[in-house]
Every structure is written in C-alpha cells, then in structure tokens.
C-alpha cells in the first residue's frame, strides 16, 4: 500500500515511479564543501519566494535563505530553477542538494524525502473573481464550480480530500492559474494567499475576492533534502537554529512577507 501511495504521489511524470529514496547519489556536507558549491532548487515563478527582478536576477525569500545556508556551509550558492511539480523529482534525481519553493511538510512527502526544521507556516485562502459570487468553501464542495490549481501543490491534495466533487483545471504555474481565472476558465483557486496574492495585480481588470479562515494551517514549510543526507540535514537544521536565535530568519521573513509592518506573518 505504501508503494501505491508513493507512486500516486509522484505522478508528475511517468518516469518518477523509479525515483524512490536511495536511488540517486546524494551529495553530503563533506562533498558539498569540497566542491565549493551547493545546488539549491528554487521556484522562480512564486513571489515572494522566488522571481526574476528588474535586472533579470533571482530574488526572493528562498534566494535569501539559500544564500544564508550556503554562507553557513562556507560554499557558493548555485540556484537551479524548477517548477512546483519538479521539486521532489529534482531532489531525488540528485540535480539539487536542497530544495525550497514553498515545500510544505506532509506525511506523503515525508515518505520519500527528508525535511529541515520549519521555516514558517502557511494557510489556505480562496481566491475568486468577485463576479463568481463564491462566498465560502462550502460553495466549492458542491462540484458546481471549476477550480484552477497548480499541479504538484499542496492545495490539490487538500481539495481532493475535502472537495472531491470539485473539478480541477491543473496548470504548471501560478501565473497561468491566475490568468486562467481572469479569462473565465475557472471560478476559484485555493492556495496560500501570501504567494498567490502577488499575482493578483497582474490582472487589474478583475475584482478579486479573498476568503480566509476555512481551513487550519496547511503545515510547515521546510527545506527538502534527500533522505540519505543525514549530515547535511543536521548542518542545515543547526544553521536555521542559529538564524532563528540571532534574528536573521525573522528578518528575512519580514523583508519578503511583511514589508513595512511590525507584525509577523503567520
């Protein structure tokens, strides 16, 4: 049964069924230090976690965290861009040493990868054009509305459990998903508003309704690592613990999630 769940969870591509823990040669801390660099997987289409700035350079929360981890290990950060659905395959294939990109720790994912200590917690919201008149999560459970979601995101698994009647249009990125909603190809989206909210101004012709409070916290967002990298995981956790103690982790969080405010985001 575990193998069946894992196969279903890794259904982002036909070849992924062979990417089980232990298949790839993971680089441990010693190898990473000897090489002088660490390969960090990031999602460039998910601000404020990652995006290309006006100079066409990567910027965002994940970029700052990745640079801090690299500095703590005494190596150069090398960022590898990937999609949400590519996070776990890239990690298990050894293409990256660690991966970020809003990677929520779930029991299903914990069967195939390892996680660092938490970076922060996140919560779902409903994002919908005002004209669709969706007022609550109950409106989505009836199956009368088309949802637009990003494949590989935690929201997809949540909706399949809590709104099994709802049909979903699965797209590759949040840019595509918000555009599809604006074009009328769907009625609503469920995802973390701190991420998705950055895309809403790209469709200024749409009046958006955002509904919170219908679901408990999604879980903790962490850094993903290969299960083989026991030493690397220990080193990363130690660095995050130090960053939390000296305020660096809070400062990065506030910079990207709470600019100009004194209130910490959930």
What is the rounded average pLDDT of the residues 189-202?
A: 85
pLDDT at site 18? 40
Which pLDDT value is given to residue 87? 94
pLDDT value of residue 7: 38
Can you read off the two tokens belonging to residue 254?
């506030």
Convert the pLDDT of each residue in 51-67 to its tens digit.
999 999 999 999 999 99
Q: Taking Cα atoms as reference points, which of 127, 78, 120, 126 lies closest to residue 103?
A: 120
Q: What pLDDT is attached to residue 158?
A: 93
pTM: 0.68
- DSSP letter for 74, please: T
Q: How confident is the model at residue 21 (pLDDT cuts 50, 70, 90)?
A: very low
152-181 pLDDT tens trace:
888 999 999 999 999 999 999 889 999 999
Sheet strands (E) in the chain: 37-42, 51-52, 58-59, 76-81, 98-99, 114-115, 120-122, 124-129, 146-150, 167-171, 189-192, 208-211, 219-221, 224-225
Residue 32 has pLDDT above 70, yes or no: yes
């Amino acid at each position: 049964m575990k193998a069946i769940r894992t196969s279903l969870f890794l259904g982002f591509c036909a070849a992924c069924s062979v990417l089980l823990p232990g298949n790839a040669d993971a680089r441990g801390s010693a190898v990473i230090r000897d090489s002088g660099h660490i390969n960090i997987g990031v999602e460039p289409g998910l601000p404020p976690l990652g995006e290309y700035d006006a100079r066409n350079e990567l910027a965002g929360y994940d970029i700052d965290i990745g640079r801090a981890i690299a500095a703590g290990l005494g190596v150069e950060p090398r960022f590898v861009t990937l999609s949400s659905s590519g996070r776990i395959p890239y990690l298990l294939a050894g293409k990256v040493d660690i991966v970020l990109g809003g990677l929520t720790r779930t029991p299903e994912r914990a069967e195939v990868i390892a996680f660092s200590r938490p970076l922060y917690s996140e919560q779902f919201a409903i994002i919908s054009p005002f004209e669709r008149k969706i007022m609550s999560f109950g409106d989505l459970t009836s199956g009368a509305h088309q949802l637009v979601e990003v494949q590989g995101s935690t929201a997809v698994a949540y909706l399949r459990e809590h709104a099994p009647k709802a049909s979903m249009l699965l797209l590759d990125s949040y840019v595509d998903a918000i555009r599809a909603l604006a074009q009328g190809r769907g009625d609503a989206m469920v995802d973390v508003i701190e991420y998705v909210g950055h895309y809403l101004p790209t469709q200024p012709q749409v009046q958006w309704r955002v509904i919170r409070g219908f679901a408990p916290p999604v879980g903790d967002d962490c850094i993903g690592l290969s299960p083989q990298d026991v030493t690397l995981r220990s080193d990363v956790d130690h660095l995050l613990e130090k960053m939390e103690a000296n305020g660096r982790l809070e400062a990065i969080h506030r910079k990207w999630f709470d600019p100009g405010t004194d209130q910490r985001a959930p």
